[in-house]
């Protein structure tokens, strides 16, 4: 780029006399080659400073014009010689204006592209506004210099802050090569196009020439030309400027490209410029030939603009680092309520946050200004990017109020991002309406470490849970409908219903064709089916007394506890549904579809499983979940990105955020960044399921496990009195009590060992509160380190946000450098009972397990059906290492009773029921919905979260 200052001569001016005729040819080929060599050296320097970096150029073409193809090939060849990574995007002649604009938008947002050329003319069968299209190019990537913004800057003399159109820029370079000083000279420009004439006028003017622009209405054109010391012609008319018009000794720059008949040429035509070259050469001091003059320089200047754009990009480029802004929070003491804090902060527009972390606008679906869904296209785009560092946040066995895992996880993410200046993204489960309106209230962090907008996250967010609920009810309705149809219709009538006639013809649906193939019936015409084949196709013979599918509910229902066990099992909250577990474990749309097809939702009268595919409902389920599978993007109070996605119930499922959220996050943060994800309940439940189910499914390997503990929680495990929601804490938790705390630290040691069992370094985060004393915190940290923790750090994320977790962030960064070797607790091929025994003994400290009759029956049944090699998901009380919620600390010498076993074939695991009542939790006597209204939203002021 050349500013008014840099548009000085590169060589000492030659002695130049206006009446002196030299006729020296200015070679564009030679000059352009010199420019290319200089640019090649510049690109090599960039690569040396930033390995693997290359300037990027995209040429966007509509149609297939022969002349455009020739120009594009010249540009691509020049880019390759210099070291520019050039790509050609060709849209068909059928492309619409909207399609062209979408392509431009995608290139605008691609950080690997620094220059974008829209090849003109746009050869489409549809009308396209060329002005609108050229102005759609981002000014910072407009290396053709055609946008109104760049043209406006050039017109007002801001030459150092714009891109100059390539042909005028090339003309100026050729003039400089003559050694001619432009300042003070009389210049004439013929033509006023936006591409050549108008910008050429501006360039000469800001180089201090006296400029006249001539056009079709100019009177006495020969006289105007005859006064020009510098003549630039871009009229598009073959040889219109005659040699006798030219002032002797003038510099003549011919921008014309015209074809005239010439029988001596094989093509029957030859290329000439706008100036009669032979006669003008006799009078001009310097003149450009056609071809070989301005044309090569246009391409060279295009390359120069691209390299200049890349240089500008590198001025703010930090390899692997987001260009993200964080919010400074004004903290208050004492800490206000979560609702007050949430409402006191203004989140960044979600479009800004998405851009900051490297998402393209086409990869986010906006849900208002503060939340968005991330489209799965990003998975393919980033698939070759290296993963970041993976951190799981778990905890000790919690009190009824929790130990603050989410608050700590969000505080850690804020500390890593805003305070340690590394890319950091948190992945959280979406709160369920059950806890929101039940005992705990909203659960998405607390104090100054919470995700916002709080109310929207705690209520509907983007409707994922509602989609799961709708899918769950659809399955139940499909089962009911099939039961009714089979009870009242003959096989033939049922077949007519399932294969309806359309225009005097019946056709099998894709699902029915797959069913026929599975049944070994090789037919595609319904009319050819025999009576026996019709029966096999349409008659599922569902056993109404052995249905295994549970109807979905939004929230907990107290009345369920009054129902019979069999009837109660017919209902469940949405997050406990297998559909939610499938959503959380799926790696993409296809994987989700296949998992949904495998779901066993009923059995027939022979005891054989019936799937959603048998019912013909699996594709409809996938359609209902097409948006729910996309992770939700929100932010913390400090502006750190957060993915909130899925909530497989930690009691009956694995209790972790989605695989997709974690995978996308790991690609976005880059190899030096961190993804902080969470696991439900204590390490014996949430972390075990995270490793043995989620990591086994995803193939991801974490680098660090953060174990959250509180002094209050450890005192409870040391034998302290029960802590109840909404009631003041007993004095044991408000005053220093080292003996009680030391006794409870045995539980902390056990949970540290539980995490270490998977081969991952453990950092203990002691979530502190104002009642904790220094001696108590020292005791906990010492106990954690003596148990083998990599480090133990007090933190105060609720009261201080990211600043309260800086030391924790340092410990996590150091721990992430330690060598790891992820190992699962058991081999999935072990017999079902052996896998249960391993978890019970290694995680809970049980002496053995006891299978009750129903559990024994299920072991035999599922083994015979081929489900024996699935991993297991333990459904056990989260309030104790044992099956008894009243037993705190480290229970010993207990036998773990196994009441029942179920299978989620689609999700891919067996669930083992230690406590059957966990399948459907009850509400408290005074649930939180009494305190929810339009103004307050949901909250959890009495919680430790």
- Residues annotated as catalytic are 75
Among the listed residues 843, 932, 420, 456, the one whose alpha carbon sits nearest the alpha carbon of residue 669 = 420
SS3 assignment, position 706: strand
Alpha-carbon gap, residue 941 to 78, rounded angstroms: 65
Q: Are 905 and 303 in contact (CB under 8 A)?
A: no
Q: Are 720 and 730 in contact (CB under 8 A)?
A: yes
Question: Is residue 164 classed exposed, middle or buried when 0-12, 13-18 and 19+ CB atoms within 10 A define those classes?
Answer: buried
Q: Are 173 and 33 in contact (CB under 8 A)?
A: no
SS3 assignment, position 400: coil
Among the listed residues 463, 461, 371, 389, the one whose alpha carbon sits nearest the alpha carbon of residue 425 = 389
Question: Which DSSP symbol is given to 924?
Answer: P
Residues in CB range of 732: below 8 A, 6 or more apart: 715, 720, 721, 740
Q: Could you give the C-alpha distances from 918 to 322, 649, 915, in angstroms and in order? A: 43, 10, 6
Pairing of strands 449-452, 632-636: antiparallel
**For 255-408, where are the E strands, in sequence order?**
258-261, 269-272, 286-287, 364-366, 372-374, 389-395
Q: At what angle do helices 66-82 and 28-49 cross, to 10 degrees?
A: 50
Alpha-carbon gap, residue 474 to 493, rounded angstroms: 23
Alpha-carbon gap, residue 274 to 257, rounded angstroms: 7
Q: Locate all alpha helices (DSSP H) within 816-944, ordered by sequence.
A: 832-839, 853-864
Q: Are 633 and 418 in contact (CB under 8 A)?
A: no
Alpha-carbon gap, residue 347 to 452, rounded angstroms: 7
Alpha-carbon gap, residue 737 to 746, rounded angstroms: 15
Q: Are 535 and 491 in contact (CB under 8 A)?
A: yes
Please give the backbone phi and psi of residue 510, each rounded to the nearest 5 degrees, phi first: -55, -40
Long-range contacts of 106-112 (CB under 8 A, 24+ apart): 106/360, 106/362, 107/58, 107/60, 107/141, 108/136, 108/137, 108/138, 108/141, 109/355, 109/360, 109/361, 109/362, 110/56, 110/58, 110/360, 111/313, 111/358, 112/56, 112/85
């Amino acid at each position: 780029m050349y500013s008014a200052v840099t548009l000085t001569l590169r060589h000492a001016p030659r002695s130049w006399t206006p009446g002196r005729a030299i006729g020296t040819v200015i070679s564009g080929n030679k000059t352009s080659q010199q420019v290319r060599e200089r640019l090649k050296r510049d690109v090599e320097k960039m690569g040396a400073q930033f390995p693997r970096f290359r300037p990027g150029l995209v040429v966007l073409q509509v149609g297939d014009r022969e002349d455009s193809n020739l120009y594009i090939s010249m540009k691509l060849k020049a880019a390759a010689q210099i070291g520019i990574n050039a790509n050609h995007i060709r849209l068909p002649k059928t492309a619409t204006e909207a399609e062209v604009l979408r392509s431009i938008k995608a290139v605008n947002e691609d950080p690997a592209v620094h220059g974008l050329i829209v090849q003109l003319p746009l050869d489409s069968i549809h009308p396209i506004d060329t002005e609108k299209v050229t102005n759609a190019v981002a000014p910072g990537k407009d290396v053709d210099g055609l946008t109104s913004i760049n043209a406006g800057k050039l017109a007002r003399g801001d030459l150092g802050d714009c891109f100059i159109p390539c042909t005028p820029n090339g003309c100026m370079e050729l003039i400089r090569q003559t050694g001619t000083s432009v300042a003070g000279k009389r210049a004439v420009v013929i033509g006023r196009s936006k591409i050549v004439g108008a910008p050429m006028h501006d360039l000469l003017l800001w180089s201090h020439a006296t400029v006249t622009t001539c056009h079709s209405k100019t009177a006495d054109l020969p006289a105007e030309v005859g006064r020009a010391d510098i003549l630039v012609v871009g009229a598009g008319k073959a040889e219109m400027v005659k040699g006798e018009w030219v002032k002797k000794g003038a510099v003549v720059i011919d921008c014309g490209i015209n074809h005239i008949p010439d029988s001596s040429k094989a093509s029957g035509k030859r290329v000439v410029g706008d100036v009669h070259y032979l006669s003008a050469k006799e009078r001009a001091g310097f003149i450009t030939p056609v071809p070989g003059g301005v044309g090569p320089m246009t391409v060279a200047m295009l390359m120069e603009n691209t390299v200049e754009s890349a240089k500008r990009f590198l001025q703010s480029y930090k390899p692997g680092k987001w260009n993200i802004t964080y919010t400074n929070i004004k903290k208050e003491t004492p800490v206000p309520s979560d609702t007050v804090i949430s409402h006191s902060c203004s989140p960044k527009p979600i479009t800004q946050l998405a851009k900051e972390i490297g998402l393209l606008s086409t990869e986010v679906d906006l849900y208002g200004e503060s939340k968005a869904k991330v489209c799965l296209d990003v998975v393919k785009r980033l698939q070759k990017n290296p993963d970041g560092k993976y951190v799981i946040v778990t905890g000790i066995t919690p009190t009824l109020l929790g130990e603050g895992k989410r608050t700590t996880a969000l505080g850690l993410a804020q500390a890593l991002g805003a305070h340690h200046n590394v890319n950091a993204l948190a992945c959280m489960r979406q709160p369920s309406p059950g806890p929101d309106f039940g005992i705990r209230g909203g659960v998405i962090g607390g104090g100054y470490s919470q995700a916002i907008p709080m109310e929207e996250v705690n209520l509907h967010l983007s409707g994922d849970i509602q989609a799961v609920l709708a899918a769950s009810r659809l399955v139940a309705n499909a089962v009911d409908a099939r039961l009714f149809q089979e009870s009242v219709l003959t096989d033939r009538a049922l077949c007519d219903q399932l294969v309806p006639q359309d225009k005097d013809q019946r056709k099998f649906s894709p699902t029915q064709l797959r069913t026929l193939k599975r049944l070994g019936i090789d037919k595609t015409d319904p009319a050819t089916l025999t009576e026996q084949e019709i029966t096999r196709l349409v008659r599922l013979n569902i056993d109404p007394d052995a249905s295994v599918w549970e109807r979905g509910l939004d929230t907990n229902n107290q009345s369920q506890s009054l129902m019979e066990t069999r009837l109660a099992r017919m209902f469940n909250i949405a997050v406990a549904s297998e559909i939610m577990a499938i959503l959380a474990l799926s790696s993409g749309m296809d994987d989700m579809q296949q998992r949904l097809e495998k779901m066993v939702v009923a059995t027939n009268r022979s005891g054989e499983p019936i799937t959603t595919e048998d019912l013909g409902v699996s594709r409809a389920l996938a359609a209902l979940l097409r948006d729910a599978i996309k992770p939700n993007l929100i932010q913390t109070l400090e502006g750190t990105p957060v993915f909130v996605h899925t909530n497989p119930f930690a009691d009956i499922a694995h209790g972790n955020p989605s695989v997709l959220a974690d995978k996308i996050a790991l690609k976005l943060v880059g190899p030096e960044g961190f993804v902080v994800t969470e696991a439900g309940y204590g390490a014996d439940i949430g972390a075990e399921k995270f490793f043995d189910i989620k990591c086994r499914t995803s193939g991801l390997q974490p680098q660090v496990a953060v174990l959250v503990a509180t002094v209050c929680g450890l005192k409870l495990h040391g034998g302290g009195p029960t802590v109840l929601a909404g009631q003041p804490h007993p004095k044991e938790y408000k005053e220093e009590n080292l003996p009680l705390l030391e006794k409870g630290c045995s539980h902390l040691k056990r949970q540290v060992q539980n995490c270490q069992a998977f081969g991952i370094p453990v950092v203990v985060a002691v979530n502190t509160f104002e009642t904790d004393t220094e001696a108590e915190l020292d005791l906990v940290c010492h106990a954690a380190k003596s148990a083998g923790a990599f480090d133990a750090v007090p933190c105060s994320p609720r009261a201080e946000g990211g600043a309260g977790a800086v030391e924790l962030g340092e410990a996590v960064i150091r721990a992430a450098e330690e060598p790891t070797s992820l190992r699962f607790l058991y081999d999935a091929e072990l017999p079902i009972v052996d896998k249960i025994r391993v978890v019970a003994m290694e995680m809970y400290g049980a002496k053995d397990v006891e299978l009750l009759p129903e559990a024994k029956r299920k072991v035999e049944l599922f083994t015979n059906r081929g489900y024996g090699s699935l991993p297991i998901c333990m459904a056990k009380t989260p309030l104790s290492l044992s099956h008894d919620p009243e037993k705190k600390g480290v229970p010993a010498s207990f036998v773990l009773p196994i009441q029942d076993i179920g299978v989620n074939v689609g999700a891919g695991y067996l669930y083992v029921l230690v406590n059957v009542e966990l399948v459907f939790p009850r509400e408290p006597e005074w649930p939180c919905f009494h305190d929810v209204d339009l103004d307050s939203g949901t909250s959890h002021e009495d919680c430790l979260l």
